[in-house]
Amino acid sequence: MKNQGSLVAIIVVSLIGLTVMIFGSLKKTPRLAETTAMADVFAVPETAAFAQTNRPETSYPEVTSALVDQGRLIIGTSEGIFILPSLVGQPEPEERRLDTEITHLNLIVPFEDNRYIGADYLYKVDNNYAVTLDRYDLGTRVYSMLGFGDGLLVGTDIGLWYHCDFEIDGYCAGDTLLKEGLIVTSMAEDRGGLWVGTYGQGLYRFDGEKWRERYLERDTLMFQFVNALEYSHPFLWVGTDESIFRYDGGTWQQMFIADSSETFDVTCVMTTPAATYIGTGSGLLRFAGDSLYAVDGFEGMAVAGLCVSDRDVIVATRNNGIFTFNGKEELVSPEQLTPRDFAGLAEPSGNVEDKVLAETDPDILAENIDY
């Protein structure tokens, strides 16, 4: 494809001419380092991309991503990774403990034989999510990823990077800053270029030769905060913090339910052969047969991610569990995503007074001395 070849050429030029600048960027302090902003797609009112996280200590971990990988449901949460080993029957989700502590986990992307985790760093792990193979310090937090050629496009809060573990035209690609100064929240590749959504800086497209900002003449700020992008020929879907748009290559159409003018804070978009599913901060929408409607049963639930198995669409909510679309069968409850470290803290076992006595009474202490 023309755009991929052109982007590879840009990467090679960057490797040759901008090496000093790139390595200098790796050591810089992220622009948002002094805040606690994270890729929380349910922020109100500014955007879905960045929010203060003040989760009560008594609540369950928040789901940040979900995907089907080799018949397993992989669940990314604010407290780590859980794996539902099968989508058949009623198995219990298993907590995955990596040898590296991962903070602010935003997304998980399978690529080639490995899996990449976007968080405070970019991590490469094995396909069993058991071993950390590498950690890449981009000097900033990772919010979005997209497989592209032999590597990954990585969206951060200081720009768009290209990560590759292989050589390109004789040069080790490593981590190359392709376009700086953007807070990249989402990406999608169409048949002629690359779309990049940002937090507060609009919607961009790379056509193989140059970058252009795209906007509506009637309201140039409508694409200012983009949270989700999805391309399925011939349509590009754009989800913002208050609107849903569909683009056919020539015309932009804002989507509404029936005759309403209600707006939605879009969190994610996924297209299947049958329909397009749109997650929002307050429920699930479905577009099929030229009609957009709210799906019953998900009202008031913030949708964190959408994925599809060989049997059904899977809807991962932020705080209310993970469900199948058909029949709304609960696959994983919020309680099942409690890390082992915290599972025993909620309800202490035994008599607390007896434990305190055993720790303070000299006679009891003498009985418990291991000679």
Which residue, 330, 334, 353, 350, is CA-closest to 342?
334
pLDDT value, residue 259: 73
| DSSP state letters, 184-201 | EEEEEE-SS-EEEEEBSS
Q: Which CATH number characterizes residue 278's domain?
A: 2.130.10.10
pLDDT value, residue 261: 77
DSSP letter at 362 equals H
Domain total in the chain: 1
- DSSP bridge pairs for 107: 118
Burial class for 75, CB neighbours closer than 10 Å (0-12, 13-18, 19+): buried
Q: Which pair of tokens denotes residue 362? A: 């000299």
CA 53, 56, 57, 62 torsion: positive or negative?
negative
| DSSP state letters, 229-253 | EEEETTEEEEEESS-EEEE-SS-EE
pTM: 0.79
- Which segments of the chain have a pLDDT < 70? 1-58, 167-173, 341-371
pLDDT value, residue 339: 86
pLDDT value, residue 192: 85
pLDDT value, residue 17: 37
* Boundaries of domain holding 93: 2-367
